[in-house]
């Protein structure tokens, strides 16, 4: 825990030292979460009037003549005390507030990596785990998200921290209530994180197939195979499945799932009510009411569609700097950002997994989680726009760094 605290302090210090001065001394021009918190303090779900001029009408939803913040609301809850103490949204240095929170994700990631080491899921040592946590903080798009501080990037800072805490509690299905709560808060911050529930589901299945929780040191060889039906040359797949089903501790599995689901379901219920109270429909999040230039494509293709896949994959895999013949910096990047492998080259290491990794249960569970979380942003109508690298990869970067371990 002391090392995790040191990681938090170091990361936060560096984030502050490298932040633009205006982030520390004034609110950002896109302080949507502070505006939402201020609305709550005044007993409203809408803004009570048009957005402030400094926000340039950027990503506000208009419905029935009222203006709303369409983004998931949990980061606004974190700003409530700041707004209350400051007496209003404009008095809150929201960029600075999120800098204080930015050290949580790398510190929690370090705790996750250490848990993997202790349970013999990883062969990394403590120093290597510190290095991986710092690489996440400063060598991925998380760094640029933390330094931005505006509404879109602030959500990623909060979401990554909640994701890391969720994983910490979800590993070995050790803390189902806290895992469900962190995932619920994550959903109220970055909606794709809801699909990371697959990791807890698979971890609970594994430990209940073992017949006990934990899987402490020395149990690794046994735990990797225990979740699968025992293999036998003269048994059919159906027979092996039957034997595995008989071994599965089903009452315990149900208890784990229900304990995990309870707080997450409450968060989802709140979100559905929040949608209904604002827009008259539990399924309406408000994005189609945004006053943005690309509203037409959302009307045509919707928020999610395979029509967007080619462009999103292009940004993720092929965005590179280009030569700038004019004055200023010799290289320039596209506003959609750089390729994932260019911003964090270490991800390329995942293409050559260590021997035996592909057969390990947790390894496959992590890749399944990456796939189900990332697919939504690949089919999403927006690339992330005006970013150093694709910011949506923050939603599953924690899982990628676990795979690196």
Sketch the domain layout of the chain as residue ranges: 2-404
Least confident of 30-44, 51-65, 155-169, 216-230: 216-230
Per-residue pLDDT averaged across 129-143, rounded? 97
This prediction's pTM: 0.90
Lookup: tokens for 161: 């921290």
Greater confidence (112 vs 295) lies with 112
By three-state DSSP, how is residue 61 classified?
A: strand
**pLDDT above 50 for 215:** no
Residue 165, pLDDT score: 99
pLDDT at 244: 84
- Residue 331's pLDDT is 80
Going by C-alpha positions, the residue among 327, 340, 331 that lies closest to residue 388 is 340
Are 23 and 96 a contacting pair, CB within 8 Å?
A: yes
User: In this structure, what are the phi and psi dihedrals at residue 379, rounded to the nearest 5 degrees?
Assistant: -100, 10
Taking 50 as the threshold, does the pLDDT of residue 223 lie above it? no
3-state secondary structure of 47: coil
Q: What is the pLDDT at residue 88?
A: 95
Res. 52: pLDDT tops 50: yes
User: What is the distance between the alpha carbons of residues 34 and 45, in angstroms, rounded to a whole number?
Assistant: 13
CB-based burial of residue 243 (10 Å sphere; 0-12 exposed, 13-18 middle, 19+ buried)? middle
Please check whether residue 24 is in contact with residue 93, taking contact to mean a CB–CB distance below 8 angstroms. Answer: yes
Mean pLDDT, range 16-27, rounded to an integer = 95
At residue 327 the predicted structure's pLDDT band, cuts being 50, 70 and 90, is low
Instruction: Check pLDDT > 60 for residue 51.
Output: yes
pLDDT for 7 beyond 60: yes
Q: Give the rounded percent of residues in the chain with a pLDDT score beyond 70.
A: 92
Q: How confident is the model at residue 365 (pLDDT cuts 50, 70, 90)?
A: very high
**Count of C-beta atoms within a 10 Å radius of residue 6:** 13
Residue 218 has pLDDT above 60, yes or no: no
Q: pLDDT-derived band of residue 222, with 50, 70 and 90 as boundaries?
A: very low
> Using N-to-C axis directions, what is the helix angle for 197-210 and 151-170, rounded to 10°?
0
How much is the average pLDDT of 113-136? 95
- Give the HSE-up count for residue 80: Cα atoms under 13 Å, Cβ half-sphere: 9
Q: Is the pLDDT of residue 299 over 90?
A: no
Average pLDDT of the segment spanning 59-72: 95
Residue 382 — φ and ψ, nearest 5°? -130, 140
pLDDT band at 294 (very low <50, low <70, confident <90, very high): confident
d(CA 135, CA 157): 15
pLDDT at position 171 is 96
Q: How confident is the model at residue 232 (pLDDT cuts 50, 70, 90)?
A: very low
Task: Find the mean pLDDT for residues 183-190.
Answer: 98
- Confidence at residue 310, expressed as pLDDT on a 0 to 100 scale: 92
In the Cβ-directed half-sphere of 204, how many Cα atoms lie within 13 Å?
Answer: 24
pLDDT-derived band at 214, boundaries 50, 70, 90 = very low
Looking only at the bridges linking them, the beta strands covering 322-323 and 331-332 are antiparallel
Measure the CA–CA gap between 210 and 269, rounded to whole angstroms: 33
* Total count of residues recorded for the chain: 405
* pLDDT at position 220: 45
Confidence tier at 213 by pLDDT (50, 70, 90): very low
């Amino acid at each position: 825990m002391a090392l995790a605290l040191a990681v938090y302090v170091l990361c936060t210090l560096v984030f502050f030292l490298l932040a633009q001065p205006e982030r520390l001394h004034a609110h950002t021009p896109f302080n949507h979460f502070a505006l939402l918190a201020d609305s709550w303090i005044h007993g409203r779900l809408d803004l009570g009037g048009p957005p402030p001029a400094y926000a340039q009408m950027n990503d506000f939803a208009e419905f029935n003549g009222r203006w709303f913040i369409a983004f998931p609301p949990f980061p606004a809850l974190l700003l409530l005390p700041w707004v209350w103490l400051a007496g209003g949204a404009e008095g809150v240095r929201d960029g600075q507030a999120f800098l204080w929170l930015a050290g949580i994700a790398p510190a929690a990631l370090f705790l996750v990596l250490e848990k993997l080491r202790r349970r013999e899921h990883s062969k990394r040592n403590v120093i290597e785990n510190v290095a991986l946590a710092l690489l996440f903080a400063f060598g991925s798009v998380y760094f640029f998200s933390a330094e931005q501080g505006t509404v879109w990037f602030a959500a990623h800072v909060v979401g990554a921290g909640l994701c890391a805490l969720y994983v910490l509690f979800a590993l070995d299905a050790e803390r189902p209530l806290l895992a469900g709560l962190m995932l619920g808060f994550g959903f109220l911050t970055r909606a794709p994180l809801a699909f990371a529930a697959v990791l807890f589901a698979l971890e609970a299945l594994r430990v209940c197939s073992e017949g006990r929780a934990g899987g402490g040191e020395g149990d690794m060889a046994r735990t990797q195979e225990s979740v699968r039906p025992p293999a036998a040359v003269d048994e059919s797949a159906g027979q092996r499945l039957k034997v595995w089903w008989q071994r599965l501790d089903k009452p315990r599995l149900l208890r784990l799932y229900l304990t995990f689901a309870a707080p997450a379901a409450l968060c989802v219920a709140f979100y559905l009510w929040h949608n209904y109270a604002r827009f008259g429909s539990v399924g309406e999040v408000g994005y189609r009411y945004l006053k943005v230039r690309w509203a037409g494509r959302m009307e045509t293709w919707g928020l999610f569609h395979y029509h967007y896949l080619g462009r999103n994959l292009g940004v993720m895999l092929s965005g590179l700097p280009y030569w700038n013949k004019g004055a200023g910096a010799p290289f320039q990047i596209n506003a959609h950002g750089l390729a994932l492998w260019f911003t964090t080259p270490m991800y390329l290491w995942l293409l050559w997994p260590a021997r035996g990794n592909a057969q390990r249960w947790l390894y496959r569970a992590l890749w399944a989680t990456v796939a189900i979380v990332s697919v939504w942003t690949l089919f999403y109508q927006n690339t992330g726009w005006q970013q150093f690298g694709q910011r949506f990869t923050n939603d599953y970067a924690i899982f990628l760094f676990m795979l690196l371990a």
